[in-house]
Amino acid sequence: MKKFGYPKAEKLKQKKEISLLFEKGKWQTCGNLRIIFLKENLSENLQFGVSVSKRFYKKAADRNRIKRLLREAFRLNKTEFKKAFGENSSAMLFYISPTKPKHFSEIEDNFLKLCIAKKKS
């Protein structure tokens, strides 16, 4: 497997798993990012999904851009994420700010702060 890949097996897509995540998951917020995660996963590997609110971003192009940036932050910092949240966890990441991120580095910094905050708790 590629070191920085984001294979299909790691994508959180099943409705059953997403609803389980919302029922039993724990929330954490850092900056403009909010994550819901569950340590015990139904599958045997890490699963990750992203979501951006239609309430804040009416245009699909804006939502898709932010989702691409969130997935890229996860893809590049997957090892930090695994250290913080576990190898076999499920997680869904949300962007909760009405202001668009100016640069990718802004999202990546918040993502790393979120991982560091989880390690400390």
Task: Output the domain CATH number for residue 109.
Answer: 3.30.230.10
Q: State whether residue 6 is helix, strand or coil.
A: coil
Task: Supply the range of the domain harboring residue 36.
Answer: 15-120
Whether the CB-CB separation of 58 and 11 falls below 8 Å is answered with: no
The number of folded domains in the chain is 1
**Digit-coded pLDDT (tens) for 76-118:** 999 999 899 888 888 999 999 999 998 999 999 999 999 988 8
Q: What is the pTM of this model?
A: 0.90
Q: Let me know if residue 64 belongs to a domain.
A: yes
What are the DSSP calls for 38-95, one per residue?
ESS-SSSS-EEEEEE-TTT--SHHHHHHHHHHHHHHHHHTHHHHHHHH-TT-EEEEEE
pLDDT score, position 45: 80
Cβ atoms of 91 and 48 closer than 8 Å: yes
6 part of a folded domain: no
Q: Can you tell me which residue has the tokens 């699963």?
A: 47
State the sign of the Cα–Cα–Cα–Cα dihedral 67, 31, 45, 5.
Answer: positive
Q: Is residue 3 part of a domain?
A: no
Task: With a cut of 60, say whether residue 1 has pLDDT above it.
Answer: no
Q: Is residue 45 part of a domain?
A: yes
* pLDDT tens-place string over residues 33-62: 999 999 876 667 889 999 999 999 999 999
**Does residue 21 form part of some domain?**
yes
